[in-house]
Amino acid sequence: MTSLQPVAARTDQLTVDEVREVLALAQAAGDTDGAYPLSEHVVLHLRHGGDAPAVHLLARDPDGALAGYAHLDTTDQVEGAAAELVVHPLRRRRGLGRALVRAAMDVTDEIDPRGRLRLWAHGDHPSAGALALGLGFVRARVLLQMRRSLFAPLHEPRLPEGVTVRPFRPGADDEAWVALNARAFADHPDQGRWTLHDLRVRMAEPWFDPEGFLLAVDEADGRLLGFHWTKVHGARGHQHEPIGEVYVLGVDPAAHGTGLGSALTVVGLRHLRGRGLDQAMLYVDESNARAVALYSRLGFARWSTDVSYRRIVHSVTTAST
Ligand SMILES: CC(C)(COP(=O)(O)OP(=O)(O)OC[C@H]1O[C@@H](n2cnc3c(N)ncnc32)[C@H](O)[C@@H]1OP(=O)(O)O)[C@@H](O)C(=O)NCCC(=O)NCCS
């Protein structure tokens, strides 16, 4: 373990005792704040280990008691690193939160020339906003997590006339899908800017399964009209119940208003249920009213609210002649 700052020590692997301390700290904060500070994903990885490495930052009191913790996931090549952090309710307003964020910024500066970093605040805690904005982050996204039981009835999908659904064909569909995604998410730059590289990075992930990446095609000319990319969390290398996700759902604006989005959602949910999953979740931007309404109509209910703060990144400077 190397010390980054006097208060924040860094390690890539927590001991069993450290995991216990972190979970007790998170529990104390959750009880006080009314929102648990770590995502389910992070907690499961703490408890059971995971398939991806992580950086842990531990801030201790002089007597050794754990006062603050940050979890840094550095594996997302597309979006950059993401951190979650928590300070014990009795140790707040002493600069620990700021020290943990600064330590996380130092780590990302080491591994990413642009120093990209997102902070996730679960429950939209006002202290989190004050801390993040004070360190030069901007409020980037408000994400709703919605969930639905897969035991609840799922009607037959009603696809528009002349449209069929088939699985994604790696290699053959890559380019057409990137173009469709750009059209479908023209108003959502994060998603709409995905390149072939962004797609292929995900296709190389162990969770990628083309059978769950469903494309709606025009029967007449084979044109892609929409897609529902599902994802199964926790199927491999985890010791917890897997859960299905509506990972990305998109419809070509030319096919809007035909019921395709709703039909594709149902097709994907039925696929997940067919895989033996009993629950589905999804993340949706709160500002995407059309999508929130669609999911609500299909039985999804709000589960939690997460806010991400994005660091204003440095531009990569190139040597001038
Ligand atoms: C957010 C959190 C990590 C802050 O931890 P902390 O150790 O109290 O933060 P610091 O003492 O380093 O505060 C740094 C600055 O943030 C701001 N801030 C933090 N808490 C604040 C509050 N309750 N009200 C107003 N400003 C606050 C202040 O500007 C503060 O600087 P100052 O004390 O010099 O005025 C802590 O409240 C927490 O664990 N919350 C629940 C988990 C969470 O929301 N995590 C996401 C963080 S992005």
Say if residue 157 is in the same domain as residue 233: yes
Same domain? For 205 and 181 the reply is: yes
Helices (H), 156-288: 174-184, 189-192, 196-203, 260-274
**Looking at the domain assignment, is residue 304 inside a domain?**
no
Q: Based on the structure, what is the number of domains in the chain?
A: 2
Check if the beta carbon of residue 230 is closer than 8 Å to that of residue 247. Answer: yes
**Within-domain flag for 132:** yes
Nearest to 83 by CA among 63, 65, 100, 58: 100
Taking the centre of ligand 1 as the mean of its atom positions, its distance from the CA of residue 95, in whole angstroms, is: 8
Residues 137 and 157 occupy one common structural domain: no
Last residue of a domain, one of 124, 144, 164: 144
pLDDT given for residue 1 in this prediction: 44
Given 144, 171, 196, the domain boundary residue is 144
* Position 319 in a domain: no
Q: Which residue, of 100, 126, 144, is where some domain finishes?
A: 144
Q: What is the pLDDT of residue 318?
A: 44
Q: Are residues 159 and 120 in the same domain?
A: no
229: left (phi over 0), alpha (psi -120 to 50) or beta: beta
Does residue 78 lie in a domain region?
Answer: yes
Nearest-atom number in ligand 1 for the CA of 83 is 48
Contacts of 2 (CB under 8 A, 6+ apart): 9, 10
Same domain membership, residue 158 and residue 130: no
- The answer to the question of residue 315 being in a domain is no
Domain-located, residue 316: no
Using CB distances shorter than 6 Å, the residues near ligand 1 are 29, 33, 37, 85-87, 92-98, 119, 121, 125, 127-128, 130-132, 134
262 is in an annotated binding site: yes
Domain identity same for 71 and 169 = no
Token representation of residue 134: 């004070």
Domain interval for residue 164: 153-298
Burial string for 238-251 (b: 16+ CB within 10 Å, else e) reads beeebbbbbbbbbb
Check residue 262 and give its pLDDT.
Answer: 94
Is residue 90 domain-resident?
yes
Please write the tens of the pLDDT for every residue from 247-268.
Answer: 999 999 999 989 999 999 999 9
Residue 193 located in a structural domain: yes
Using most ligand atoms within 8 A of CB, pick from 85, 120, 131 the residue to mutate for ligand 1: 131
Do residues 10 and 77 both lie within one domain? yes
Helix (H) or strand (E) holding 214: strand 213-218
Same domain, 108 and 202: no
14 labelled as ligand-binding? Answer: no
- The ranges of the chain with pLDDT < 50 are 1-5, 239, 318-321
User: In the prediction, which pLDDT does 58 show?
Assistant: 97
Residues 132 and 168 in one domain: no
Q: What is the model's pLDDT at position 191?
A: 84
CATH code of the domain in which 51 resides: 3.40.630.30
Q: Are both 40 and 110 inside the same structural domain?
A: yes
Q: How many CB atoms lie within 10 A of CB 4?
A: 19
The response to whether 259 counts as a known ligand-binding position is yes
